[in-house]
Amino acid sequence: MKVTVIGTGFVGVVSAAVFASLENTVIGLDIDEKKVSSLKQGEVPFFEPDLEKLLLSQQKLGHLSFTTNYATAIPTAEVIIIAVGTPSNEDGHADLSYLYASLDSLAEHIKDDVIIAVKSTVPPGTLMAVEKYLRQRTNKNFELASLPEFLREGSAVEDTLHPDRVVIGVDSEEAFQKLRTLHQPLTNTILKVKPSSAQMGKYSSNAYLATRITFINQIADLCEHNGADIEEVIAILGQDKRIGSHYWYPGLGYGGSCFPKDVRELARYSQEVGESNNIFNKIHELNEDRIPKLLEEFGSKVGGWSGKKVAVLGLSFKPHTNDMREAPSVRIIPKLLAAGAHIVGFDPQALTSAPYFLKSHPQLEYSSDIAAAIAEADVVMALVEWPEIINFDFESVVYTKPQRLFIDARNQFEILALKKAGFKYQGIGRTYAD
Ligand code: NAD
């Protein structure tokens, strides 16, 4: 099948490479010339396991190419997949300007009977608006579909090759059959639903996971008041089949490029349709308040942040990616600097993206060596469960500060080992005597 993917960011480039690996002829189209030029050379401009290898092999086989030119990428396409960004506006609205700009550019080039599938996360009702918009710009026949994406950065290739489900929101049976044929090699779990259900399903999925994170953070905070250990509480919860033991992450709250913006959009949408008494506003508010609240609590344990040396381990929003969009580090580091702390940041992959995301803080130091980053620290703050950080031998370092606090923001470390290394331990929702 001839497929063009518009937007070769995290989602688009993975989809393009995976569809190419299924022997489709795929063109990745982006307006970012720098990005396209590096993709043409087989270089992925961000870190994602297994992607570069797949990209190179598919380009060599001639299944995959990249361009910035709508006039060459659109007329041949049987299926166009739109995967441009839909970031949050200041008021929480999903910014659909990239989506509409892509429609403006593609309209004059489409051929009859093309299927245009919107993979970008967009609010319910958007597909109807897109249909009206495109009909005003072309006389060609086309079918629209909603094709929400559920991949996780850090395991994006694996998730796309083996999705839990593929959701196809369509009105037309013909369009469904074509998109089903495209996805059939990936899974048998293909759900045909209304376009609005597909969009609601995507928002609900992210909002539910964000709610789960917020819920366990609230329980963790209560544990701090009574000596309970949140990890033991999770073990109890997990044995209940109605609840399950997976996806419990007490910590600093949710971040990344999707959860914060999708919860905000759902809150805004609820408000717009008159459902103003909803949990989404509260989830967003609790998540926003979490880092300031915890920083104040942690700061009180070291006599305030002023003049303290803090090693921040893990700058990406989660392991196995260098994406720092809404990462805890991006919210924490400016606050610590403003409070007078000196910061050294370490990350196995995100040292390349950190100077961009934290560009207004030139005083921030970076180290590519954990031992060097922590040797002089008063406080070590482990924000992300990178294996390089979890498996590091903290006892092997010669420290200069006699009093040291270790903040385990993901509850991932052996408390005894850290104590042996001379740290006072501070986890989330677990209190242990020194
Ligand atoms: P991204 O910002 O990494 O990539 C978007 C790309 O679109 C950029 O390369 C940009 O240059 C390109 N673009 C913008 N306007 C364009 C235009 N008019 N024509 C061609 N290209 C254009 O975004 P992303 O993280 O890949 O997310 C894309 C969509 O997928 C969003 O709606 C997001 O919510 C959703 N999503 C993302 C993830 C994730 O983990 N990143 C997961 C599921 C869903």
My answer on whether 309 and 187 are in the same domain is no
My answer on whether 133 and 273 are in the same domain is no
**Closest atom of ligand 1 to CA, residue 119:** 30
Residue 204 domain-assigned (yes or no):
no
**Structure confidence at residue 431 (pLDDT):** 79
My answer on whether 180 and 265 are in the same domain is no
- State the Rg of the chain over Cα: 23
My answer on whether 322 and 390 are in the same domain is yes
Most informative mutation of 27, 149, 206, 323 for ligand 1 (most atoms within 8 A of CB): 149
Please give the Cα distance from 107 to 75 (Å, whole number): 10
Residue 85 alpha carbon to ligand 1 centre in Å: 3
Residue 206 domain-assigned (yes or no):
no
Q: What is the pTM of this model?
A: 0.95
My answer on whether 235 and 164 are in the same domain is no
Most informative mutation of 5, 209, 257 for ligand 1 (most atoms within 8 A of CB): 257
My answer on whether 122 and 232 are in the same domain is no
My answer on whether 146 and 266 are in the same domain is no
Please give the Cα distance from 391 to 387 (Å, whole number): 6
Q: Which helix (H) or strand (E) holds 404?
A: strand 404-408
Residue 389 domain-assigned (yes or no):
yes
Q: Is 42 left (phi over 0), alpha (psi -120 to 50) or beta?
A: left
Residue 216 domain-assigned (yes or no):
no
Residue 219 domain-assigned (yes or no):
no
Residue 233 domain-assigned (yes or no):
yes
Please give the Cα distance from 331 to 344 (Å, whole number): 15
Q: Cβ(287) to ligand 1 under 6 A?
A: no
Mean pLDDT of successive 10-residue stretches along the chain, which has 434 residues: 98 98 98 97 94 97 98 98 94 93 98 98 96 98 98 97 98 97 98 98 98 98 96 97 96 96 96 96 97 97 97 97 96 98 98 95 96 98 97 98 97 95 96 70
Residue 256 domain-assigned (yes or no):
yes
My answer on whether 189 and 243 are in the same domain is no
Residue 101 alpha carbon to ligand 1 centre in Å: 13
Which of 167, 193, 219 terminates a domain? The answer is 193
Q: Which of the residues are catalytic?
A: 258
Residue 48 alpha carbon to ligand 1 centre in Å: 15
Q: Cβ(211) to ligand 1 under 6 A?
A: no
The one-letter amino acid code at 207 reads A
For atom 17 of ligand 1, the residue with the nearest CA is: 102
The domain of 284 spans: 228-434
My answer on whether 316 and 416 are in the same domain is yes
Q: Cβ(39) to ligand 1 under 6 A?
A: no
Q: Cβ(9) to ligand 1 under 6 A?
A: yes
Residue 432 alpha carbon to ligand 1 centre in Å: 43
Q: Cβ(8) to ligand 1 under 6 A?
A: yes
Q: Cβ(29) to ligand 1 under 6 A?
A: yes
Q: Cβ(102) to ligand 1 under 6 A?
A: yes
Residue 212 domain-assigned (yes or no):
no
My answer on whether 189 and 75 are in the same domain is yes
My answer on whether 41 and 119 are in the same domain is yes
> For residue 431, what are the contacts with CB-CB under 8 A and spacing of at least 6?
223, 224, 227, 229
**Structure confidence at residue 434 (pLDDT):** 66
Long-range contacts of range 189-194, CB-CB < 8 Å, 24 or more positions apart? 189/163, 189/164, 189/165, 190/165, 190/166, 191/165, 191/166, 191/167, 192/168, 193/167, 193/168, 193/169, 194/169
Q: Cβ(32) to ligand 1 under 6 A?
A: yes
Residue 267, CA distances (Å) to 235, 240, 262, 287, 310 in order: 31, 30, 9, 13, 35
Report helix angle 195-226 to 279-301, nearest 10.
30
**Closest atom of ligand 1 to CA, residue 32:** 11
What is the domain-level CATH number for residue 152?
A: 3.40.50.720
**Closest atom of ligand 1 to CA, residue 148:** 44
**Structure confidence at residue 433 (pLDDT):** 65
Q: Cβ(121) to ligand 1 under 6 A?
A: yes
My answer on whether 292 and 366 are in the same domain is yes
Residue 33 alpha carbon to ligand 1 centre in Å: 15
Q: Cβ(30) to ligand 1 under 6 A?
A: yes
Which of 146, 175, 193 terminates a domain? The answer is 193
Instruction: Give the count of domains, the chain.
Output: 2
For atom 23 of ligand 1, the residue with the nearest CA is: 85
Residue 364 alpha carbon to ligand 1 centre in Å: 29
Give the Cβ contact number of residue 109 at 10 Å: 20
For atom 34 of ligand 1, the residue with the nearest CA is: 121
